[in-house]
Every structure is written in C-alpha cells, then in structure tokens.
Structure 1
Amino acid sequence: KLTAGKIAVAGTTEQLTGFDDGVAFNYNMAAGATSVSVAFDEKVTGPAVGLNIQPMDAAASYGWPETLKSVKITSIVFVARAGAIYPAAGASKPTPKPTVAPEFESSEFKYDGLDQNWIDKNIDPEKPVVALSFDDGPGGYTGFVDNGMKIQKALTAAGAHATFFYIGAHIEHDEDSRNEVLAAKEAGFEVANHSYDSNGLNSVGPEVIKEKIAKTDALLSEITGYKHFLFRAPNVAYSQAMYAVIEKPFIDVSIWSQDYQDKTTKDDLVNNVINNLKDGGIINMHSVHDKTAEAVPEILEQCKDKGYQVVSVSELFAIKGKKLMTGVKYNNAE
C-alpha cells in the first residue's frame, strides 16, 4: 500500500507536468486508511486549473515506485477555509501572492573552481558532452573512502571531470573524508553540497534547511577555499521552502545509473548510463558503492567510444553557454 505522496496545484495549463511547477505539498497516509487530507492553508491564491498527484512509497521520496501497477483515486473533495468570502461575479480579482516568498533574488551562479582554460584545451564544443555526478561521498566516514579515490583515479586517467556532491556529516570528523574532498578539488573536479546528512529537506522548516546547507558549505569552504557550491537535494526531493531559502542552483538528474538499488549489478548500471546518453545530460551515480567504482572506467571508455566528452556540471553549462541561476532546478543543459 502506498502511504505517502505529493500533490501540486497548477496555475496554468503549462504547469501540470512537475510538482515543483505549481504549489506542492507532501502528505502521509496512515496504514489502513482510505483517505488523506492535505491542508493548503493560505499558501494557495489566485486561479488554479489542475492537480498533479503522485503517490509513492513512504521510504522513497522521489519518482514512481517500481512496484506500482495502478493508482485509483476515487474522489477529491475541496473544502473552503472557515470564514472564506468569495467575490461576486464580475468583481475584481485579488492579485495572486507567491506561495513562499524567496529570501533572495535569483542571480547567476559561478563555481569558484571553474577552469575555462581546461575547457578550452580539452573540450570540443561541437561534440556531445555529458556531466557525470556522484552523490553521498566522501566515503571515509562510512568506510568506503577507497571507492571515491578509485573513481577519482579513473577520471584522471580518462581525462574526464565530474561533480561530487558531498554530505557534510561525512566530512566533519573524518580525516580520510577531508582528504578525499581535497583530492577532488586539486584534481580539478567540482565539489558540491549534498546537505549535512541524508535526511530529506523537503519535510522540514526553513531554519533547519538553512542550518544544514550552511554547515556543509562551511565544511567544504574550509577544505577547498571556495565559497560557492552547487546543490543536490537528498533523495532528489524538493519543497517550496527549499526553493525559498537555498540560494544555489538545484541540480537534478536526467540519466539514472540506479546504482543505489541492491539488485543493480555493475553491468546493469553501465547499461543504464550508456543506453541513455544524451548531449547535455546529467548522470547520477554514488561514489560509496563498490560496483560503481568498478563500473566507472568502463563507462568512461564507452562514452569516449560513442564520442561523448565527460565533464562536471558547471563545466557542462559553461560549454553549452547556459547560465546556472540560483533557486532554479536543472536536470540537463539542453
């Protein structure tokens, strides 16, 4: 039984495809229950033309569950707020207000370590390019530091780059993890923020969100000397509160290796990447898995055979001439 999900209210017909394109809410349903109430409070104003409803497993905060066969929603009931007053026909409409007012004005992001000279010397802009990204490192804290370093060595040997989204708690009290982050920076790879821990930020308030992002930024800055880092959400799950307070580009995924699934073998994840290559795409992998470290050299070789150049996320957008803006989500550089 699916016990959780997301519901989005869309304001225009063009905003019905993704939950973050409208006003989004998460919900949880008690075991055995047949209905759930979602409180919109005062977050919804102005016209709404449709709903986007996504059920999911409580343990999986992104995507449709693999086991899902069908979903049957028997009814949706809208209940007005107590004391709500509606304007008479022909009356002027109130000006819609933003659902969650951002605490910053969106601006262009540039990674401190972006090396345009490396791009100019090594990348042919006429050939296809993909960004390779790794989550959940560094591995010293969890005993998998060797995998992260194996991946770095494979990238260097292939003349490729990648972005590593690091978890702050893995860095804070572990020297091996700190050394892994420093090695990535010195090798020319991009260092990025994956929050302080693996707990989702989409179900907590703005103060908790800001604290975890700032703490991880501080740890990464202490090691690299940089101040600006891309962000990928834990479990790739988002909320309006996150968009309001995280002053970074949100990096999503367009090519999933699925290495996080126990059933995925090394050959499976190689095929998952290679069979879905697309110019401007962003590949997701996890640097803490043995099978991932084993697969990376083969993935890099096959990318080269197919004419693809492998770079970091910031390099991908620079090569494609696309700006990265704070508070905006990206899953490709098309």
Structure 2
Amino acid sequence: MSSARPAWRSRALAAGGSWCCAFFVGCGSTAVDPVELRRRYEDFESNAEDERLLNQVRVRFDREQPLPAPQALALEDVLLDVLRRHPCHLGVLRALLDVRRCGDLPNQRLEDLACQPCAPQVERYLEARTAADPVEARTHLDAALELDPDFPHARALRGLLELGSSEGRLGRAIRDLEAAQRSFPEDRELLRALAEAHERRLDPAGALPVYRELLQRDPADRDVRVNLGLALLALGEWREAEMEFRRVQSEDPARADAWHARGAAFVRGSQEREAERIYLAMLERFPADLEVHFSLGGLYFDGPLRDRARSERHYRAFLAALEANGASSPNHRAALTYLADIERDRGAR
C-alpha cells in the first residue's frame, strides 16, 4: 500500500490552535478511492519462479486442460506462500480457487483456501468485485462468514470492502481487519488498512497503537511518523507530537506537512511565538503553500499575538492565492468567516 495517503493530512492542521483544536478539524474528505485501495492490495512482489508458475497456470486454463497433480501442487505451494504474505491479493485468491477446481489435487490439503466450505462464496465475491458490484460482493462475503466466521481471508476482504465503500460500516471494517491481522500478524498492509479505518472513524485513540506498531516495524517510515504525531495531537499530547514532527522535519526539511503539523502542535501547546517562527520560516521556504497564510491569519486573529491588521492581510492573501490558482481549500469558509468578524469589529468602532 502506498504510505503517502494519510487520512490525517497535516495540511488539515494548518488551522491548528484554540480556534480549531478539535480532532480532525479542517481536513477535507477522507473518502478512500476503492480502485486505489484495491490496487494497493493487488500489488505484490513475485520472483521469477512465481511468475513462471502463474503464467503456466494461465496457459493451462486458456487451453481448458486440467493441471497435472505435480504442477498443481507446485503452483498451489507458491500461491499459498504469496497468500501468507499478501492475504488480500485478489488475483492469488482467484488462482487458488482455479487450481483447486481444475487441478488434480488430493483433498486432504485442508489448509488450502479452496477446501473451505465457503470457497464458492469467496469466488462469487471475486466475480462481483471484478464487475464493480460492491453490494453483491458484500452479500457473498457475509454468506461466507456465516459458514465460517473465522475464515481469515474473508474477514480481510470484507474489512477492505467496508473501508473502500462509500457506504462502508467502519465498525465492522475494524473488527474484520483486527481479526484478519491476528491471523496474518506479519502483513503490514492490513495494519495500514486498520489505521485508516480508525482514522476515517475519527478515532485517534484506536489508531495510535497501530501507528506505534507500524513504526516499530519500520522506524524510517516518515508518513507513519507524521500520522502518529497527528493522532497524538488530536489526543492533546502536543509535546510528544511536536517531537515526532520535529524528527521528520529534521530528516526531510522539504516536507511542508511536517512544518505545518509542528506549528499546529506549538499553537495547541500555547507556544504561539514558536508557532509564529515556524510559519514565518515557511513563507520563505514554501512560498507556494497557500495554507501558511491561513495559519498566520489564525495566529494573529486572537490570543497573545493578536494583531487584527496582520490577521486580515494573511486571510486576504490566502483567499487571493486560492482565486489566482483556481485552488480549493477546506479552510476557505473559515477564512471568510474570520474576515467578516474583523470587518464587523472594525465597523463597530
């Protein structure tokens, strides 16, 4: 899965601080593109031997010839190995079902996916998913799990389906993904999906241990580190959050999201001067970043650095840049509201 698609985007925290400190304030839509989500789980690394065997079975199926048992067993071993590493790879799931159906295999290999009583339902799920029918796909996975509630592949697939659907039930997605992750503890992508489900449910407390586990496995993953900091910030742990953002900022100074998030952490901790220092430095380092003006407008709007004239200048610069670039921002409406307040106060004097 690509790690560059966090649901707690740091840009969302450009408005961080007392006027906007509630969890998840200011961020745009958190909808997950189902096509992108499927692509993440369909990608896997295969060696030359894997590819040779996969091509072999494709040729066999094209000719409508049954696979001899030795070849079917060899292919099944490869597919099961890949599936242990990538339990939600739809192509491998389908190939396993095809091998079991078309290959001359002994029935005692009960660890095989296709030996499960719910395998036909999973196969129908794959067909419905290929036809882009999430409602029918969900129906088949529900039926599969009625037959075997502990079937881990179906739990993983249903969790991903709920996460990727616009009508997804996030509570069920989390339960399914947690169950699947217990069955496949080494699968990092299931952990990422679980974190994303907590994010979309606006549950930073639930996402926090998942991020910690991901970082334990890969301490160099800066996207996860930023997300960990944002979850901490949402829970009020601004000092620890600031440390995470500072580490990312020092390792990769070109990451504007870490700068934004660090400024928001300082605002949350009532360290307005430190936040101002961060944001003013961003004006020079990231001149095309429109959200910096919004952050400075909020910083000067009220509080110890209150300066309504400077606040107005930055809000107007933010709105003018949006218009000039034909851009959109989740903070557009808030900027208009604050400007109206400034003008109303000026008229009252």
Place the TM-score, normalised by the shorter chain, in its bin.
under 0.3
The structure with the largest helix share of the pair is: 2
Where relative contact order (Cα < 8 A, 6+ residues apart) is larger, the structure is 1
The normalised TM-score by structure 2 is 0.24
The structure with the largest strand share of the pair is: 1
The normalised TM-score by structure 1 is 0.25
